[in-house]
Amino acid sequence: MQITSAGEGSVVLSVTGEIDLSTADELQNALDAALAAKDTTEVVVDLSEVGFLDSAGLRVLVSGQRTAEERALGFRVTGAQPRVRKVIAITGLTATLGLDVG
Amino acid sequence: MTDAEPVRLVEVVVDAVADQVALLRSVAADVAIRGDFDLDAIEDLRMAVDEAAALLVGCAAPGARLHCELRPERQQVRVRLVVDAKPDAQVEHSSMGWQILTALATEANAEAAEGRITITLARARSEKITA
């Protein structure tokens, strides 16, 4: 898994690869850093290059969403592929994660 | 030719650590691919085995090994995962991992006995599961 961060204010974290029990911590660290940066108003997690996401990754995304909410920052997930979208839907998190429709 | 199920048991044993979960889910998907399963069934099995293995890694005693048996049958793949558990560990049925596993598998069960936790699951060849 690789993560690149782009932008200030609206920070886009683009993730490539598989998010699972062994890589979720890395995503957590990147999210924490993005949410803590002083100019951040919104964090967008782009999953368009993620082929696999399990509950370990979902827990990190949900915790990121909660932290953003506590700090009155925007948070959303974009670009989820159909398989990733399916797992998010099973857990009832589609709206919570601000997943874009379509 | 007979009508008996061909026996092609696959067994994989790994250290019960997070880094090995990807290997188990890949083997599971490969078994389904070789059985010519539907794409949805392959991906559901991959995810179900991932979640089962991750749950058992969380329950594992220090230094434990995770045993995984995959049994391809004509209409489904059956999987049995076993780990030596730390005291009082159990599979939380309220966890997101169990929620995903039970949604994607056509059968799933977890049981603790004699210091071990076992998860058994099956995914049918083509039954459509929609979220």
Q: What is the pLDDT of residues B61-71, one digit of tens each?
A: 999 999 999 99
Q: How many CB atoms lie within 10 A of CB B75?
A: 13
Contacts of A87 in chain B (CB under 8 A): 47, 100, 131
Q: Determine whether domain B10-124 maps to CATH 3.30.70.600.
A: no
Per-residue pLDDT at B126: 83
Per-residue pLDDT at B8: 85
State how far residue B51 is from chain A, nearest Cα, in angstroms.
7
Per-residue pLDDT at A102: 47
Mean pLDDT, range B65-91, rounded to an integer: 96
Residue in A closest to B131 by C-alpha: A90
* pLDDT above 90 (res B99): yes
Residue A89 near chain B (CB below 8 Å): yes
pLDDT in tens, B24-60: 999 999 999 999 999 999 999 999 999 999 999 999 9
Contacts of B96 in chain A (CB under 8 A): 55, 58-59, 91
pLDDT, tens digit only, all 102 positions of chain A: 999 999 999 999 999 999 999 999 999 999 999 999 999 999 999 999 999 999 999 999 999 999 999 999 999 999 999 999 999 999 999 999 998 654
Instruction: Report residue B128: phi and psi, to 5°.
Output: -80, 125
Do the bridges between strand A42-53 and strand A74-78 make them parallel or antiparallel, or are there none, so unpaired? parallel
Per-residue pLDDT at B129: 67
pLDDT in tens, A48-61: 999 999 999 999 99
Confidence band for B3, pLDDT divided at 50, 70 and 90: low
Burial readout B28-43 (b: 16 or more C-beta within 10 A, e: otherwise): bbebbeebebeebbbb
CATH architecture of A2-90: 2-Layer Sandwich (3.30)
In this complex, the residue of A22, A56, A91 whose CB is nearest that of residue B99 is A91
Contacts of B45 in chain A (CB under 8 A): none
Q: Is residue B107 within 8 Å of residue B122, measured between CB atoms?
A: yes
Which residues make Cβ contacts (< 8 Å) with residue B2, sequence separation at least 6?
none
Q: Do A91 and B43 touch (CB under 8 A)?
A: no
Q: How many CB atoms lie within 10 A of CB B47?
A: 27
Structure tokens at B83: 């780990």
ipTM given for this complex: 0.94
Contacts of A58 in chain B (CB under 8 A): 96
Mean pLDDT, range B12-26, rounded to an integer: 98
Q: Do A90 and B46 touch (CB under 8 A)?
A: no
Q: Domain boundaries in chain B?
A: 10-124
Residue A18 near chain B (CB below 8 Å): yes
The C-alpha R_g of chain A, in whole angstroms, comes to 12
Per-residue pLDDT at A97: 96
Q: Do B131 and A52 touch (CB under 8 A)?
A: no
Q: Is B14 exposed, middle or buried (0-12, 13-18, 19+ CB in 10 A)?
A: middle
Contacts of A20 in chain B (CB under 8 A): 18, 21-22, 50, 54
